[in-house]
């Protein structure tokens, strides 16, 4: 890999297997990487473990950029996953005040608690999951992960199945393409005429989102990608009981899960698919795309 990160100090706070692979990629590009909550990286002289964040400012090495995980934090700011068990990292005012104002913080998604703490300290927040290049590349392991669940749950092959994809953004379009490739009969629903036209061009049947309730077809599997309540009780009541619903939209998803349970319809909320289905690929995507984001953030300051 190119040594594009030469001389740049990057502090990586926790993560899962994706961030472990990302650390390797960033190190191969010449970055000086400091890790918190990771195991050692034998053979990588430019990856330095930081034993503890400690109570004092000097316990944090000077960092040009801080990277928190794609799986981000809970609502209190606690980083959701850390490779080494027992290490707690909280992205709160106490930690963020140790970085100079203007330091860029990269994180999958910044919940209000992190946004507020960062704003108070002048830390610039960049949500990596919303970067188009990362999101489109991540849609590949995401769609594969969703299809993997469908294959495990369905008593029929996806080939020849009636599959519905709701939402035709980055993940929805990739799902449509993969399902068509598997030989499924795919219908796609979205509110955007342009997205529906794209799905039609790809060979799917299309349904305007507002007309989903009137759709006559029954589906073996419904993949929801819309992060808003779309599969309401009223809509679910019209579905056969053996419809499988896989909701990949960010929490709380787009399905009335209580109604689905009441109606005996299996609905699965499936978060974090890239990290589960293909953590190494997902880590390499971060390792490939983050340097561009880091260099751009540093050049703006
Ligand atoms: P995206 O590119 O923004 O696409 C979202 C789709 O949902 C678009 O068709 C959008 O339509 C539609 N939509 C959004 N809000 C809507 C609303 N209120 N009513 C109707 N349609 C609406 O997002 P993406 O990258 O495909 O990601 C989709 C979701 O999956 C997100 O919630 C994302 O966080 C999540 N995700 C989950 C995983 C996982 O592992 N489970 C992985 C990646 C992403 P318009 O274009 O008309 O707004």
Question: Once rounded to an integer, what is the mean pLDDT over residues 263-279?
Answer: 95
Strands 65-67 and 104-107, bridge-based pairing:
parallel
Residue 1: inside a domain, yes or no? no
**Residue 35 belongs to domain spanning:** 9-128+278-299
For residue 7, report the distance from its CA to the centre of ligand 1, in Å.
37
Residue 35: inside a domain, yes or no? yes
**Ligand 1 atom closest to residue 209's alpha carbon, by position in its atom list:** 20
CB burial of residue 43 (10 Å; 0-12, 13-18, 19+)? exposed
**Ligand 1, atom 34: nearest CA belongs to which residue?**
250
The residues, ordered by sequence, that sit 6+ positions from 262 with a Cβ below 8 Å of its Cβ are: 233
Residue 169: inside a domain, yes or no? yes
pLDDT of residue 81: 93
* pLDDT surpasses 80 at 60: no
CA distance 169 to 178: 14
pLDDT of residue 1: 60
- C-beta of residue 239 within 8 angstroms of C-beta of residue 264: no
Q: How far is CA 151 from CA 80, 146, 148, 262, in A?
A: 28, 9, 5, 24
CA distance 147 to 158: 9
The per-residue pLDDT of the chain, averaged, comes to: 94
* pLDDT surpasses 80 at 54: no
End-to-end C-alpha distance for the chain, whole angstroms: 26
* pLDDT surpasses 80 at 147: yes
Written as six digits, the tokens of 243 are: 């419809």
pLDDT of residue 239: 95
Report which of 246, 200, 206 is spatially closest to residue 226, judged by C-alpha positions. Answer: 246
* pLDDT surpasses 80 at 143: yes
Place of tokens 């919303």: 130
pLDDT of residue 61: 75
Q: Which long-range contacts (CB under 8 A, 24 or more apart) does 186-191 make?
A: 187/162, 187/163, 187/215, 187/217, 187/219, 188/164, 189/164, 189/165, 189/215, 190/166
- Do residues 143 and 219 share a domain? yes
- Do residues 15 and 97 share a domain? yes
| pTM of the model as a whole | 0.93
- Do residues 140 and 115 share a domain? no
- Do residues 173 and 107 share a domain? no
**Ligand 1 atom closest to residue 195's alpha carbon, by position in its atom list:** 9
Residue 166: inside a domain, yes or no? yes
- What's 289's DSSP letter? H
- What's 245's DSSP letter? E
Residue 4: inside a domain, yes or no? no
Place of tokens 């008593």: 155
- Do residues 32 and 159 share a domain? no
Residue 91: inside a domain, yes or no? yes
For residue 270, report the distance from its CA to the centre of ligand 1, in Å.
14
Written as six digits, the tokens of 148 are: 């993997």
Residue 43: inside a domain, yes or no? yes
Residue 3: inside a domain, yes or no? no
Question: Once rounded to an integer, what is the mean pLDDT over residues 190-212?
Answer: 97
* pLDDT surpasses 80 at 55: no
- Do residues 123 and 138 share a domain? no
Question: Once rounded to an integer, what is the mean pLDDT over residues 189-210?
Answer: 97
* Domain CATH for 80: 3.40.50.720
Question: Once rounded to an integer, what is the mean pLDDT over residues 255-278?
Answer: 96
Whether the bond into 20 is cis, omega within 30 of 0: no
Torsion of CA 11, 14, 15, 16, to 10 degrees: 120
- Do residues 163 and 222 share a domain? yes
For residue 249, report the distance from its CA to the centre of ligand 1, in Å.
6
* pLDDT surpasses 70 at 57: no
- Residue 62 pLDDT class (50, 70, 90 cuts): confident
- Do residues 224 and 199 share a domain? yes
**Ligand 1 atom closest to residue 168's alpha carbon, by position in its atom list:** 9
- Do residues 13 and 113 share a domain? yes
- Do residues 76 and 197 share a domain? no
Tell me the per-residue pLDDT of 6-32, one tens digit each, with 9 for 90 and over: 999 999 999 999 999 999 999 999 999
With the most atoms of ligand 1 within 8 angstroms of its CB, the residue from 146, 248, 251 to mutate is 248
- Total domains in the chain come to 2
- Do residues 107 and 138 share a domain? no
- Do residues 78 and 151 share a domain? no
For residue 167, report the distance from its CA to the centre of ligand 1, in Å.
6
Question: Once rounded to an integer, what is the mean pLDDT over residues 108-126?
Answer: 96
CB burial of residue 111 (10 Å; 0-12, 13-18, 19+)? middle
């Amino acid at each position: 890999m190119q040594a594009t990160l030469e001389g740049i100090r990057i502090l990586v706070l926790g993560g899962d297997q994706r961030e472990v692979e990302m650390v390797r990629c960033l190190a191969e590009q010449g970055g000086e990487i400091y890790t918190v909550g990771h195991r050692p990286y034998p053979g990588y002289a430019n990856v330095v473990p930081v034993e503890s964040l400690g109570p004092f400012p000097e316990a944090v090495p000077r960092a040009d950029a801080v990277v928190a995980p794609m799986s981000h934090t809970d609502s209190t700011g606690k980083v959701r996953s850390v490779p080494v068990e027992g290490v707690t990292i909280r992205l709160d005012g106490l930690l963020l005040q140790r970085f100079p104002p203007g330091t860029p913080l990269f994180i999958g998604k910044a919940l209000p608690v992190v946004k507020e703490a960062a704003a108070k300290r002048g830390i610039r927040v960049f949500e990596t999951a919303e970067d188009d290049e990362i999101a489109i590349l991540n849609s590949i392991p995401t769609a594969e992960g969703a299809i993997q669940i469908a294959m495990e749950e369905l008593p029929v092959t996806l080939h020849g199945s009636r599959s519905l994809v709701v939402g035709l953004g980055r993940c929805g379009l990739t799902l449509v393409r993969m399902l068509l490739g598997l030989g499924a009969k795919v219908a796609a629903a979205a509110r955007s005429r342009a997205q529906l036209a794209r799905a039609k061009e790809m060979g799917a049947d299309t349904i305007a989102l507002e007309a989903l309730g009137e759709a006559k077809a029954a589906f073996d599997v419904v993949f929801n990608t819309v992060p808003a309540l779309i599969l309401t009780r009223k809509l679910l009541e019209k579905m056969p009981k053996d419809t499988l619903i896989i909701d990949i939209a960010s929490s709380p998803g787009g399905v009335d899960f209580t109604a689905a349970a009441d109606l005996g319809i299996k609905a699965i909320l499936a978060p974090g698919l890239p990290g589960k289905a293909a953590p190494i690929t997902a880590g390499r995507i971060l390792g490939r795309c983050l340097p561009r984001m880091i260099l751009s953030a540093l050049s703006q300051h």
